[in-house]
Amino acid sequence: YSDVYRTAREIIEGGPYDLIEAVAERIAAATLATDAAIVDVRVTVRKPDVPMRGSILNAVGAGVVRARG
């Protein structure tokens, strides 16, 4: 788990990204590439305090599920 955390952190801090979906995709791809024993991955990225006029939401998020092969 520590390796996955470090990889995700490097990706997030290495931005900038226009879409949080892109961040989720990069984390998923990197996680699958890290270890052949990982056969599938689910990544959810949440960004708090996004300024959206007229919105009552306090965050936005995106998720992806990816499998090897």
Instruction: Indicate the helix (H) or strand (E) that contains 7.
Output: helix 2-13
| Other C-beta atoms lying within 10 Å of the C-beta of residue 59 | 9
47 is known as an active-site residue: yes
Among 15, 47, 65, 68, the active-site one is 47
Q: Determine the Cα–Cα distance for residues 42 and 56; give it in Å rounded to an integer.
A: 27
Q: Mind telling me the catalytic residues?
A: 47
